[in-house]
Homo-oligomer: A and B are copies of this chain.
Amino acid sequence: MVPRNVFYAQSGGVTAVINATACGVIETARKSKRLGKVYAAKNGIIGALREELIDTSKESRSTIAGLRFTPAGAFGSCRYKLANAEDNRREYQRLIEVFKAHDIGYFFYNGGGDSQDTANKVAEFSRDQDFPITCIGIPKTVDNDLPLTDCCPGFGSVAKYVAISTREAGLDVASMAESSTKVFVLEVMGRHAGWIAAAAGLAKDHRNDPPHIILFPEIAFNRAAFLKKIKETVQKVGHCVVVASEGAQYKDGTFVADAGAKDAFGHTQLGGVAPTLVDMVKVEHGYKCHWSVADYLQRAARHVASKVDVEQAYAVGRAAVEFALAGKNAVLPIIVRDKTSKRYKWHIEVAPLSKVANVEKPLPRSYISKDGYGITAKGRSYLAPLIEGEDHPPYHNGLPAYVTLKGTMVRKKLRPFKV
């Protein structure tokens, strides 16, 4: 049997370790004689539709190995969700055409809940079309909101970045508080769930350590209570470090960030939750404040990735290929935590895509402290192992020596397609 080619695509917001997953897929696939070349979509599923395929067989072994320590999406990702096949035969049909034209028998889709849904639909559609494609989802998301899997590759590294940044900025504020800045607000990602904000709690070893206040999307923001807590903390500790999820919101669902200043015409909207909170504190208490918005820095920070996260990211890539070779279809590898071991141990299991697609895993209330401003011991014991270990990238001239692909494109065979 002539080996069929493999198709790999990255989807949605990228992470510090999604390329480690790509590395796991490609290195594992290269070892198998039953698989052909690995083609990667340029810019995610958009590239698949446009027949823009990168031939990874043209990349050297060391470049592929370097993906393990290179952040962001080396092949490009996209925010593009395929609609249901019934409403959208055109795009599914096109995918099958592209797969046929390039003799693709395996589709690995590396993304969040939406992508797992898409992978599942492609599996069904291809079966209906009598050109069955083995479709394997691969989990990825800094948001850590996929069900079944204990955690999501990408999350551990952003968690580590946020915990370290909180600790470091906290030391800075503590140094200066006597005569200068008393309140510092760090804004972190998490529009819908507080997983990332919760990770800041790992910086706290002792009662008065930062963060003193965490704002979760799950806990309705109460301006008066927040300002009271700020004042109490400054009076007790001398300063106050706040870590705010970008999704922090009032009881009625209004984002705190959206309640910030607008210009006279009402159309300007600057700032996020951090400057909005700082503004409240300044007006109410007159404290000198500083604020930071981590934004992409947090999810791209491969220089300080979690070793556990890198290993898991690689492992799900490898497992995806192994599942395909074992004849599995419409599944994804998930990370399972060994509940019987005292030391953190994990392994990979298989789960059906249908159970993951479009289901969000919320941050459990039991991980959030009673007052809503911190994490519990239970939350800590879930989070702590995920930031364990360092996996420093190699450096050159003082900077991480991230790899760049040649990105040789596969010759197109089909007519153009408008996305």
Minimum CB–CB distance from A37 to chain B (whole Å) comes to 22
Inter-chain contact B293/A292, CB cutoff 8 Å: yes
Q: Which of A82-113 contact B (CB under 8 A)?
A: none
- CB-CB under 8 A from A171, the residues of chain B are 70-72, 300, 402
Q: Is the CB of A62 closer than 8 A to any CB of chain B?
A: no
CA distance A398 to B384 in the complex (A): 8
CA distance A293 to B290 in the complex (A): 10
Minimum CB–CB distance from A139 to chain B (whole Å) comes to 18
Inter-chain contact A78/B402, CB cutoff 8 Å: no
Q: Is the CB of A178 closer than 8 A to any CB of chain B?
A: yes
Inter-chain contact B268/A168, CB cutoff 8 Å: no
Indicate with 1 or 0, residue by residue over A38-53, a CB within 8 angstroms of chain B CB atoms.
0000011010000000
- CB-CB under 8 A from A202, the residues of chain B are 397-399
Inter-chain contact B297/A291, CB cutoff 8 Å: no
Inter-chain contact A271/B263, CB cutoff 8 Å: no
Indicate with 1 or 0, residue by residue over A199-228, a CB within 8 angstroms of chain B CB atoms.
000110000000000000000000000000
Inter-chain contact A179/B78, CB cutoff 8 Å: yes
Report the nearest B residue to A384, measured CB to CB: B397
Report the nearest B residue to A308, measured CB to CB: B398
Q: Is the CB of A306 closer than 8 A to any CB of chain B?
A: yes
Indicate with 1 or 0, residue by residue over A365-395, a CB within 8 angstroms of chain B CB atoms.
0000000000000000000100111101001
Inter-chain contact A398/B160, CB cutoff 8 Å: yes
CA distance A269 to B267 in the complex (A): 16
Minimum CB–CB distance from A319 to chain B (whole Å) comes to 23
Inter-chain contact A260/B270, CB cutoff 8 Å: yes
Indicate with 1 or 0, residue by residue over A293-304, a CB within 8 angstroms of chain B CB atoms.
111110111111
Inter-chain contact A79/B176, CB cutoff 8 Å: yes
Indicate with 1 or 0, residue by residue over A252-263, a CB within 8 angstroms of chain B CB atoms.
000000001111
Inter-chain contact B77/A43, CB cutoff 8 Å: no
- CB-CB under 8 A from A283, the residues of chain B are 267-268
Number of A interface residues in the complex (CB < 8 A): 81
CA distance A180 to B13 in the complex (A): 9
Give the copy number: 2
Inter-chain contact B176/A78, CB cutoff 8 Å: yes
- CB-CB under 8 A from A408, the residues of chain B are none
Minimum CB–CB distance from A312 to chain B (whole Å) comes to 14
Indicate with 1 or 0, residue by residue over A156-172, a CB within 8 angstroms of chain B CB atoms.
00001001110111011
Q: Which of A270, A272, A294 lies at the interface centre, i.e. has the most chain B CB atoms within 10 A of its CB?
A: A270
Q: Is the CB of A247 closer than 8 A to any CB of chain B?
A: no
CA distance A274 to B275 in the complex (A): 12
- CB-CB under 8 A from A160, the residues of chain B are 398-399
Inter-chain contact A77/B175, CB cutoff 8 Å: yes
CA distance A13 to B181 in the complex (A): 10
- Given contacts A179-B43, A180-B78, A292-B296, are A72 and B270 in contact (CB under 8 A)? no
Q: Which of A168, A203, A300 lies at the interface centre, i.e. has the most chain B CB atoms within 10 A of its CB?
A: A168
- What are the 6 closest A-B residue pairs judged by CB atoms, nearest first? A73-B175, A72-B171, A387-B398, A168-B300, A292-B295, A78-B179
User: What are 15 inter-chain pairs, A to B, with CB distance below 8 A?
Assistant: A16-B168, A72-B174, A74-B175, A76-B175, A79-B179, A163-B398, A165-B301, A167-B402, A169-B297, A173-B296, A184-B296, A270-B276, A270-B279, A291-B295, A384-B398
Q: A387-B399, A390-B392 are in contact. List 9 more A-B contacts (CB 8 A).
A: A43-B179, A46-B178, A71-B171, A78-B179, A184-B296, A261-B268, A268-B283, A271-B271, A297-B297
